[in-house]
A = this chain, B = another copy of it.
Amino acid sequence: MGRIKTKLKRNLFGLTLFFVGVIFGSLFISNIVAQGPFDKALEIAKARGLSPEAVENALKTYHPTGVKDEYIMFSSGGHSGQVIVIGIPSMRILKYIGVFTPEPWQGWGFDAENKKVLQGTYCDELRAKLTWADTHHPALSETNGDYDGQYLFIGDKANSRLAVIDLRDFETKQVVCNPLGYSNHGAAFVTPNSEYIIEPSQYAVPQGGKYAPLSEYAEKYRGYITFWYFDRKQGRIVPEKSFAVEVPPYWQDLCDAGKLASYGYAFCNSFNSEMATGKPVGSPNPFFEIGASQNDMDYLHIVNWKKAEELVAKGNFKEVVGIGGFKFKVIPLEIAAKERILVFTPEPKSPHGVDVSPDGKWIVVGGKLDTHATVYSIEKIKKAIEQGDFAGKDRFGVPIIDFKKSVEAQVPIGLGPLHTVFDNRGFAYTSVFIESVVAKWQVGTWKLVEKLPVHYNIGHIAAAEGDTVSPDGKWVVALNKWSIDRFATVGPLHPQNFQLIDISGDKMKLVYDMPIPLGEPHYAQIIKADKLKPWTVYPEVGWDPVVQKKSPYGTELGKERIERKGNTVYVYATAIRSHFTPEIIEVNEGDRVVMYITNVERARDATHGFALGGYNINLSIEPGEVGVVEFVASKPGVFPFYCSEFCSALHLEMAGYLIVKPKK
């Protein structure tokens, strides 16, 4: 009995220890890993063959339904002519903003009023008719060097235009044409309080769109760095208050505005300091790609825009009558050189991006045929300029600071560096095109820290609040030019590939591949979402979004009417779920028809469309908005119109007829 007892005791002791062990072991593991409810998720992970890293990535980018993104990225659409709005980290596209290209879902370019915006300010006959653009560099408006969430600017490389987007309604409010030439690249870059929007030209042309043979290239072809004055209160660029600095025909590329330590300066690079003029058929001349890649060094353009502004205020400029007969203030190259508004320093080789560090102390240039990020010191540059310490002048008389007297460091990062962005921990991230990597390096020590392969051919790179005086870190996006095999094939034209990189840890982590379904983005900027204060509906019923105030043509419910004045029929209409008033519009063949359609809804998302068969008309009329339709009823017949936004259960019944009576 005693033995049994002892045995039992001993066993009980052991069993107790065993179960304590079981519990301890269970708790131990479950504390580190997870509780039961996650079982199924992990089963799925295993079944799908997801690595632990993939699971991490999934969780970092996933947004439970209904949860919003922390950051909003504004990306250029390239030759789609639009701006792409993307949520980060979910990498979901929230909107394509119609900018230079008509877009019917938004009614952009179909409404009679916004069509005028698209035709532009200061635009000649050719450019007023454009229906596309090559948007390259979006720039958010800034206050004290920080994004303020009010406006977005973007340039059209193909036609030297600039657009202003109002971030209250995410709609384009202005398109301006540069009367000096047809080509930019860097646009847009803003000065730290958006005093000016900087637009450098790219392919040099005879100033003001004149004709000159290529044999007169050096004499007659010129570049320009334009400073467009922005009236923030009006939300408009004012061409009359803007000016340009004439520069040599070196094919300027991107720019960046100085800030803090370098406030008052702008920096632009160039890549055809050889002044190559290309290869006509049968000519022994080299192609541009060879002719423009001869020199080991091109010129970083250092522009003192504060001083330029003073000169312009004093009337020290020439007035150029440019394309379309529009006048523009230009500081001639000779004056710019003499006054040291324009100063050069050498930059290696065929550079692309120039990026100013958050503190404004360093100017980083990526030489696309070089292997370094070249870092210039604003302190050294300023000192050389003040002391008149120049190594010489170029053939146009522009003073050149000695390379060694302006440069601080050259960070060896690999072949084909293009652009550099910054985080909040003193690191810089450079896109390296030929190597297809993101290179992370340290500001100050100028040491390369890490390289992360991306897929493939990275062009630009964007960081959270990355172009401000206070970047946020956390996320970097690689804007890859080619996707090749990363997605299901959708024909010979492939999507680009945006890759989201988590930079919060010691090592960069690639967490997501995102195809770009329309457009070829160049640059992008990323803003904290809570800095944006967009409207959910227009502030008042009867709103004109073009001028952002009440329209005199808004119509109240019950006051709808049709008025004829000569051959013009004015229709004052309303739209509400689920009818237009009036539903029947009778006109005569040849009448001009003007319709003002007020969406009298106040509910969020209660947009109505207005589509008219045959007549190429489709509006998107958001709650409160007045849409404007204008056309000539050139053809007799019966033309149905209807609401093109699925608004209600009786949406299909929200329709009517335009009846055009034939001439006798």
Q: A65-B513, A170-B493 are in contact. Are A41 and B36 (CB under 8 A)?
A: no
Taking a contact as CB atoms under 8 Å apart, the answer to whether B581 and A369 are in contact is no
A517 close to B293 (CB less than 8 A): no
Closest partner residue, chain B, to A96 (CB atom): B518
Q: Write out the residue numbers on chain B whose beta carbons fall within 8 Å of the beta carbon of A206.
A: 637-638
Chain A window 595-630, contacts with chain B (Cβ cutoff 8 Å), 1 for yes, 0 for no: 000000000110101011111101010111100000
* Contacts A52-B40, A520-B645 given; does A615 touch B85 at CB 8 Å: no
Query: How distant is the Cα of A251 from the Cα of B654 in the complex, in angstroms?
Result: 12
* Chain B residues within an 8 Å CB radius of A607: 492-494
Residue from B46, B280, B494, B656 in contact with A604 in the complex, judged by beta carbons closer than 8 Å = B494
* Bound CA–CA A60/B58 (angstroms): 9
Contacts A80-B104, A289-B578; A486 near B209 (Cβ below 8 A): no
Closest Cβ of chain B to A547, distance in Å, is: 16
CB <8 Å contact, A37 and B52: yes
Verify B491–A170 contact, CB threshold 8 A: yes
Cβ-based interface call for A278 (8 A): yes
Q: Does B38 lie within 8 Å of A52, measured CB to CB?
A: yes
A84→B423 CA distance, assembly (Å):
35
Q: A39-55: contact bitstring with B at CB < 8 Å (1 yes, 0 no)? A: 11110111010111011
Quick check: is A554 within 8 A (CB to CB) of the other chain?
Answer: no
A579 touches B59 (CB 8 A): no
The distance in angstroms between the C-alpha atoms of A313 and B491, with both chains bound, is: 38
Question: Cα distance A87–B607 when bound, in Å?
Answer: 28
What chain B residues lie within 8 Å of A604 (beta carbons)?
484-485, 494
Interface size of A by CB at 8 A reads 214
Residue A392, interface by CB 8 Å: no
Given A92-B487, A110-B132, A214-B659, answer yes or no on A80-B103 (Cβ-Cβ < 8 Å).
Answer: yes
Structural contact, A522 and B646, CB atoms closer than 8 A: yes
- Pick the contact of A41 from B55, B488, B578 — CB < 8 Å? B55
The answer on a CB contact under 8 Å between B653 and A289 is yes
**Closest Cβ neighbor of A24 among chain B residues:** B22
Instruction: List which A343-388 residues lie within 8 A (CB) of chain B.
Output: 350, 352, 368-369
A57, A511, A522, A537 interface centre (most CB from chain B within 10 Å): A57
Bound state CA distance, A171 and B611, in angstroms?
25
Contacts A28-B26, A64-B50, A518-B518 given; does A278 touch B92 at CB 8 Å: no
List residues of chain B with CB within 8 A of the CB of A481: 645-647
Q: A65-B510, A79-B611, A131-B102 are in contact. Are A490 and B40 (CB under 8 A)?
A: no
* Bound Cα distance from A188 to B288, whole angstroms: 49
Q: Does A635 contact B (CB under 8 A)?
A: yes
Given contacts A59-B48, A134-B644, are A583 and B494 in contact (CB under 8 A)? no
- In the complex, whether A321 has a CB less than 8 A from a CB of chain B is no
By beta carbon, the residue of chain B nearest A160 is B613
Q: Could you say which residues of chain B place their CB within 8 Å of the CB of A58? A: 41, 58-59, 62
A491-529 CB contacts (< 8 Å) to partner B? 491-495, 499, 510-515, 517-520, 522, 529
Nearest neighbor of A105 in chain B, beta-carbon distance: B80
- Bound complex: CA of A360 vs CA of B48, how far in Å? 35
Is A261 an interface position by the 8 A CB rule?
no
Q: Are B582 and A280 in contact (CB under 8 A)?
A: yes
A657 contact set on B, CB distance < 8 A? 203, 214, 277-278
Is A538 engaged at the interface, CB distance under 8 Å to the other chain? yes
Q: Is the CB of A635 within 8 A of B126?
A: yes
| Residues A457-500 near B (CB distance < 8 A) | 457, 459, 481-495, 499
Which of A11-19, A138-146, A297-305 is found at the contact surface with chain B?
Answer: A11-19
Q: Decide if A169 is an interface residue (CB 8 Å cutoff).
A: yes
**By the criterion CB–CB under 8 Å, are A486 and B205 in contact?**
no
Nearest Cβ distance between residue A58 and chain B, in whole angstroms?
A: 3
Do A583 and B17 touch (CB < 8 A)? no
From B27, B110, B352, B513, give the contact of A63 (CB < 8 A): B513
Shortest 9 CB-CB contacts between residues of A and residues of B: A21-B21, A25-B25, A182-B613, A58-B62, A104-B132, A170-B491, A203-B640, A37-B52, A492-B622
**Complex A-B: 27 CB contacts under 8 Å:** A25-B25, A32-B36, A34-B34, A37-B51, A40-B56, A65-B510, A79-B644, A85-B517, A87-B488, A94-B515, A95-B518, A104-B132, A126-B635, A130-B616, A158-B642, A159-B614, A169-B492, A278-B657, A279-B584, A281-B562, A288-B655, A289-B578, A350-B653, A368-B650, A481-B647, A489-B532, A494-B605
